[in-house]
Amino acid sequence: MKAAHKQPLRSVRIRLEAEPFPIEQTKIRSLVKGVLTRFGVSEAEIDIRIVSDTEMQEMHRQYFQDRRTTDVISFDLTEPNEPRRCFQILVNAALALREAARRGHSPQAELSLYIVHGLLHNLGFDDGTPRQAERMHRAEADVLTSFGYPPVYYSSPRKRTLRRCRCE
C-alpha cells in the first residue's frame, strides 16, 4: 500500500488596504507559494497587507522609530517549535507605483519584489552587509525571473551599486 502524499499546507491571505494600480492577487499567491516551495517550507500561513504610504509610515514609526515611509516591513510570527511558519508582510503599494515608474517596469513587478524581499528576510536572508545584500538580491532576481518578472534592480555580482534597502 502506498503512503498518501501529504499536500503542503500553505495559506496566503492578501488584504488590499490600498490599491493605486490593479493588483493581481492570483499572481501574488502563486509567487508566495513558489518562494515557499523553493526554500522548503511546506506549512505556512502568510498574511500580506498592501497598504498606503500613510499606513506604512505609521507602522515604520511605531515599530522602528523612523518617521519615513518604506517599501516593506516583515514579521516572523512563528511560534517556537511549531512546524508551521507564520509571516506577516506589509508592502507599500504607492511606493511600488512611484518606483516602478522611475525604474521603467510594472508596479506589479515592484510590488512582487517587496513581497519576495520580505519573505526572504523571514526565511533567514539578510542584507546588512554588501555580501549579504548581493546574495539576497541574487535570490530575489532568480525568483522574480522564474515568475516572468524582470530582475528589478539586481544587475551583476560585479556591480556593487545595489539599491539601498529601506526594508526592515
Domain that holds residue 66: 9-146
Contact 74, 121 (CB under 8 A): yes
For the segment 29-51, what is each residue's pLDDT rounded down to a tens digit? 999 999 999 999 999 999 999 99
**What rounded mean pLDDT belongs to the chain?**
87
SS3 120: helix
Whether residue 162 is contained in a domain is answered as no
Whether residue 112 is contained in a domain is answered as yes
Whether residue 94 is contained in a domain is answered as yes
The alpha carbons of the chain give a radius of gyration, in whole angstroms, of 16
Q: Model's pTM, two decimal places?
A: 0.86
Whether residue 165 is contained in a domain is answered as no
131: Cβ–Cβ under 8 A, 6 or more apart, which residues?
A: none
Whether residue 156 is contained in a domain is answered as no
* CA dist., res. 3 & res. 105, Å (int): 46
For the segment 5-23, what is each residue's pLDDT rounded down to a tens digit? 566 788 999 999 999 999 9
For the segment 124-161, what is each residue's pLDDT rounded down to a tens digit? 999 999 999 999 999 999 999 999 988 776 544 433 33
Phi, psi of 117 (to 5 degrees): -60, -45
Q: Is the pLDDT of residue 163 over 60?
A: no
Whether residue 163 is contained in a domain is answered as no
Whether residue 159 is contained in a domain is answered as no
Instruction: Indicate the number of domains in the chain.
Output: 1
Q: What is the CATH number of the domain that holds 113?
A: 3.40.390.30
Q: What angle do CA 63, 64, 67 make, to 5 degrees?
A: 105
Whether residue 139 is contained in a domain is answered as yes
